Amino acid sequence: MDAHRLTRLLNPRSVAVVGAKRANDYRWLRCMSTFQGPVYSVNIDARETAGIEALGVRNYPRLLDIPGPVDYVIVSVPREATPVVLGDCIAKGVGGVTLFTSGFSETGTDKGRELERAITQMARETGLPLVGPNCMGVFNPKIGLRNFPELYAGESGPVGFLSQSGTHGYNFALMGFRNGINVSKLISYGNAVVLDSPDYLEYLRDDPDTAIIGMYLEGVRDGGRLFRLLQELTPRKPVVIWKGGQTAPGTRATASHTGALAESMAIWRAVMRQTGAIEADSLEDMMDTIAALLSVQPTTGDRAA
């Protein structure tokens, strides 16, 4: 696991937030108030420095000015500035980036698609693990790495959760905690231009802290790879899948949300049947199914009543 290419991203020892600002009450820095490691801020606006440093966080004009390594970077800047920031992340040799910034292919505009192609090419050519864009990124409660200030820290559990929707990921984490379901790692990954569900699923397959996996999917770029991973994984770790876009309005909503193409539900149900994944049709259904899996011992034969 130490050699896995997503280890620094999902288990960082240091974090930098690029673009923290007073307008949103420095929310990303407040998320990091529980993080068990050094936290840095990067902002070129001198008017923000006092507010940032009042939180006990040192601000730097550029990522490259930070002394020492940076494992994980959260980017919250206007979309036009993202190529410059990603260039600094690559030069710094960071372990991974969450691109919270939106305004890319999900807008359906030429400008959004052009920018998305540019950042995708940059990340792929240099091997930069990029989460998003248009997402909330990583929640790892064990090390206090949060993607919403209201989430818990320090109490991890055996459930990994992957979500293309930040809201569904947040609701799963919060509702799960209130019902005794704690996560090992949760990733909200939005447009998935570089890292997609199979990449995270591959990591969770080998993660010793994860015993059960839940997934909210709007679409996938490499369906064959996902199919093969599910076939391999489900005999060892149960996988529960909630597929978004199950109706015509839902299909339009997922396309506008992450730019995802929603495949036929008949295809998805066939995939789940053939791989042994368990279908859920709502957040409540996902919660109930995972609660049952946590409570009931696996069967060892076909003599069930």
Domains along the chain? 7-131 (3.40.50.720), 137-295 (3.40.50.261)
Structure confidence by residue, pLDDT tens digits, 15-60: 999 999 999 999 999 999 999 999 999 999 999 999 999 999 999 9
Structure confidence by residue, pLDDT tens digits, 170-202: 999 999 999 999 999 999 999 999 999 999 999
Distance CA 244, CA 261 (A): 11
CA 208, 212, 218, 221 dihedral sign is positive
Structure tokens belonging to residue 287: 């919660």
For the packed helices 223-233 and 265-275, what is the interaxial angle rounded to 10 degrees?
A: 30
Task: State which residues of the chain have pLDDT below 50.
Answer: 1, 249-251, 253-261
Q: Would you list the DSSP string of 81-105?
A: GHHHHHHHHHHHT-SEEEE----SG
Give the helix, strand, coil percentages of the chain, each rounded to 5.
Answer: 45, 15, 40
pLDDT for position 248:
52
pLDDT for position 254:
45
pLDDT for position 204:
97
Count CB neighbours of 120 within 10 A.
17
pLDDT for position 176:
97
pLDDT for position 305:
67
pLDDT for position 303:
79
Contact 21, 59 (CB under 8 A): no
